[in-house]
Structure formats: structure tokens, C-alpha cells
Structure 1
Amino acid sequence: MPPPNGPREQIAGPDTPQSPFPLKLRGPVIKGFGRGSKELGIPTANIPIEGLSIGGHSDLESGIYYGWCSLDCSTTSSQSISSTTASSAPPTEQSSNHAVADLESSSTSSNSQIYPTVLSIGFNPFYGNAKRSIEIHILHQFPSDFYGANLSLIILGYIRPEYDYVSKEALVEDIREDIRVAQRSLDRGDYQSWKSDPWLGGEEQNEPEGVVSDGADARVQRMKRGVGQKGGPAMCVMDP
């Protein structure tokens, strides 16, 4: 489906997040497809979700979404992810990280470690992905890669469906507008309040019945087996 003609809505969603939001996901950051950075100048973290529900919603519509995320780098040996002053170099020269996008400056405090994010869920018609995936753009600039960091995500709203584009330039232009829409949408009070949600601080939700909380390594193994996806947020492992 091609994108519609005419101006787009400036803000997405009602003034307060409505069902099925919020959706909560968590997983380690690893390298994705790589094309976001190399071809589009928009690095992403990619999460294949074949057979995996999103926050318990296996029928969640493909499209573009927005929300907040946090990063716990205690699981990575890479350098600190503290902020760095933006340079005039393009994003692909500033960092090779597949989990960041600094297309625009964020109003989020760098000390909070909570970042606005815009993400796509689906097959990316322009590239014709065979598997449904999540591609996450963190709207913040980082000085170094942080593969292995634990990413916690709260999805709060829906922006638009997936479209097919006649060119990469048209795709990038729409992604940039998605980022602007996400930032304006997250500036509203009831969306700002989710930045303080304990999930973004690393707090665990209740495990589903019959699942024992027995450490991060065991939880990752259960995630890979598809365990722990009902009765709580989907726990996504970010595979290549």
C-alpha cells in the first residue's frame, strides 16, 4: 500500500494511552540487519518476532508506534552510553550502533536514561522482509555502541500503517516525519508520566503461573523457548 497524499496528522493517538497500550517488552541489544545505518542513515535495533506475541497481543497491527525505552549497560563491556555533544557529522559517522537514531535533538534529559523511541512492527514492504520484526529507533545520540545492553521498552501509541515507497528518499522522509510526530505525541502530560514507570527502571513484572523467577540467564532461555509471554508483557530477545 502506497502512502496517502496530503498532510499528515501532527499528533498520534488520544491524550491518554488507550488499550492495548501500554505494551512492555525487554531484551538484549544485538546487531540487526545493518541496512538502517548503511542505507538510510537511521540505525535500528531489530527484533524478529516470528511466533512471538507483543505484550500478549499476537494480532497487533503492523505499523509505526512510539513510546519510551531505557538501557541497562551493566550487561555489556562496551563504553558508557552517556550523552555526547552532537557533531556536524552524519549519524552513520557518529556511531555504528544499530540501536540509535539521532535525527533530531530530544528534549529528554540525558541524565534520566529514559529515551523517546519510534518503532516499526511488521514486514517493511519496501524491503520485503520475509519475517515480521520490530525495528526500534532510539531518539538520542550516543558516543559508542552498546551491544549486549538490556533494552526495556514501553509502547504507548500507534502512528500509522506500513507503506511501500517508490524510493529510499521517500521512505526516509516519512521516517523523519514519524519521529517528529512521536516527539510531539510524547510531549503530552499523560505520556510523559510513563517515563517514571518502574518497568523502565528494570523492575520485573510478575512471572506467569508456574514460572519461577530464577535469574536473567534462565529467563533468556525461557524467552527463546517461548515461555513467559502470557499473563504479562512479552519478553523479547533481540535476535539478528
Structure 2
Amino acid sequence: MAAEAERPRILYGDAGPEPPYPLRMEGTVISGFGRGSKELGIPTANLPVDEAAAPWIATAKSGVYFGYASLALPDTHPDHAQHHRRHRGNPRAPASAPPAPLPPSSNDTAAESPSSEPEPPSRWQIYPMVMSIGYNPFYKNSVRSAEVHVLHKFAADFYDAPMRLLILGFVREERDYPSLDALVVDINVDCEVARQSLARPAWTPRQGVVDGPGGEFDGSWLVREE
């Protein structure tokens, strides 16, 4: 426990990501080992490790990384509907913001100008995330995997949803653990490191995140439309 308590909660300087970051990765969320929610209480989304699409991953150090994930959730997903209701009047509204008011009636001449129409929210939603790349020595995996824990509580699974990752920094190397409890403790520290490291203006995308306002970092790739 002492080692976890001594780990710094903020990594890198306040000026923003440094080379070789940011690194990009994208794909469709696939089913993984089924351990995240059941054994760890920490649900993960898995992406295929595709060296052709992300050449950097072939030489990437196995371990834990942090950054942002964007998801294009289907219209039927409850988080998609909630996001669009919340952002109807302000596409960058934080999660704590109340729903936008109903549009004015046709008799309200004060809102007739076309310039007052808000731009529609992107179908891509940005979330902070922490991820592991490697073999997970505790479970002795034989296949290298990329497991993403999005720092948001979702109302439903999102298998087959398109996901983009913008990886901004490295947290720690992968390691083995004497017990499941020790693994969970370390993962929770990883999550806190990601939250605090990203909660700075130069580390927050201008496009905003679902659980907070926008910042100074250019995250346009995360929400660009094809």
C-alpha cells in the first residue's frame, strides 16, 4: 500500500503533452476477457492491437497510459440520448449542466435570427481514459491486448461502437501482483493519476469532454466526421 500512496498523482508539466505524444489509435470496441466488471469492478473496452493501423504500438512499452477516448455511440444508447439532450443548447456544456430550455415558440420574435441556432453536437463524445497495453502478467495473457477504462459511468455496454484514442502520456510499466486486491488498488491509483494529470487547461481538449468544460488542447481528431 505504501508504494501506491507514494506515487505522484500528476505527471508531466503543465504545458501539455510532449513528444512522442500524442499517439493515435482507433477501432471498433470488441469483447475482451470479461474480467473488468466481473472481477475488478473496473469495466474495460477492448480494441484490437493492429500494428498496421497504429505502427507505434509495435515498439510501445507495455504498461499503463492515459489520455482521451471518443465514442460514436448509437442513437439507441442511453448515454447518447442524454448527451444530446444536455448539449442541445450548448454543445460544450459540462455533465453537471441542466438540460437546455425548450426552443422558443414561433411567436417569440426575439429568437428569429438564424445566427441564434446552436450547432448540432458531434456524434463523437470525448471522455478521459486510462488504458493498458501488454500481456497483463497477473492473468498471464498470451496475446497482447489494449484495454481501455473510460473514466465515466455508462448506463449500458457499447460493443461494436467506433472508438478513437488520443494517448497523451505514460503512467507506469506493467507488473505482476501478489493478489487481486493489490491489482485493484494500483488500477484505482492509475485512474486518479489520469484524472489529475488531465485536469489542466493545456491537457484538456478545446472541444470539451462529457464530464467537464473545454480547455486548450487540440482534440479535433477525436471528433472529426468522416
Distance 1:149 1:48, change over 3 A: closer
Q: How does the TM-score come out when normalised to structure 1? A: 0.66
Normalising by structure 2, what TM-score? Answer: 0.69
Q: In 2 relative to 1, CA 48–7 (structure 1 residues): closer, same or farther, beyond 3 Å?
A: same
Q: Output aligned runs, 1:219-238, within 5 Å.
A: none
* Structure 2 residue identity aligned to 1:109: P
1:79 to 71, 77, 80: 77
Secondary structure of 2:185 counterpart: helix
State the structure with more CA Rg.
Answer: 2
Query: For residues 191 and 163 of structure 2, what CA distance do their matches in structure 1 show?
Result: 19
3-state DSSP of counterpart to 2:205: helix
In structure 1, distance between residues paired with 2:183 and 2:54: 25
Q: Which amino acid aligns with 2:200?
A: R
For 2:4 and 2:128, locate their aligned partners in 1 and report how far apart those are by CA, in whole Å.
Answer: 27
State the number of aligned residues. Answer: 177
C-alpha contact 1:24 1:55 (8 A) present in aligned 2: no
Distance 1:55 1:155, change over 3 A: farther
Q: Does 1:109 align with 2:83?
A: no
Alignment correspondent of 2:13: 14
Correspondence for 1:161 among 173, 198, 218: 173
**What residue ranges of structure 2 are gaps of 5+ in the alignment?**
83-92, 98-120, 208-217
The aligned counterpart of 1:138 is 150
Shift of 1:51: 4.7
SS at match of 1:177: helix
Checking the alignment, whether the CA contact within 8 Å between 2:51 and 2:57 is kept in structure 1 is no
| C-alpha separation in 1, matches of 2:9 and 2:158 | 32
Contact (CA 8 Å) 2:4, 2:189: kept in 1 or not? no
Cα deviation 1:55-80 (Å, max 9, x = unaligned): 53521111111101111124xx7433
CA distance in 1, matches of 2:175, 2:152: 25
- Residues 10-89 of structure 1 correspond to what in structure 2 (within 5 A)? 10-15=9-14, 16-49=16-49, 51-52=51-52, 54=54, 56-74=56-74, 78-82=76-80
Q: For residue 109 of structure 2, what is the aligned residue in structure 1?
A: none
Q: Is it true that 1:177 corresponds to 2:171 in the alignment? A: no
Describe the shift of the 1:82–1:5 C-alpha distance in structure 2 as closer, same or farther (beyond 3 A).
closer
Letter in 2 for 1:119: M
C-alpha RMSD of the superposition: 2.6
Cα distance between partner residues in 1 of 2:204 and 2:46: 25
8 Å Cα contact 2:134-2:146 kept in structure 1: yes
1-side partners of 2:3 and 2:53: how far apart?
Answer: 29
Mapped partners of 2:144, 2:76: distance in 1: 29
Q: What SS class does the counterpart of residue 10 from structure 1 fall into?
A: coil
More off after superposition, 145-154 vs 108-117 = 108-117
Which segments of structure 1 move beyond 6 Å, counting only runs of 4 or more? none
Q: Could you say what secondary structure the match of 1:81 adopts? A: helix
Separation of aligned partners in 2, 1:140 and 1:200 = 17
Structure 1: state its 5+ residue gaps: 85-107, 205-240
Q: Identity of paired residues, percent?
A: 45
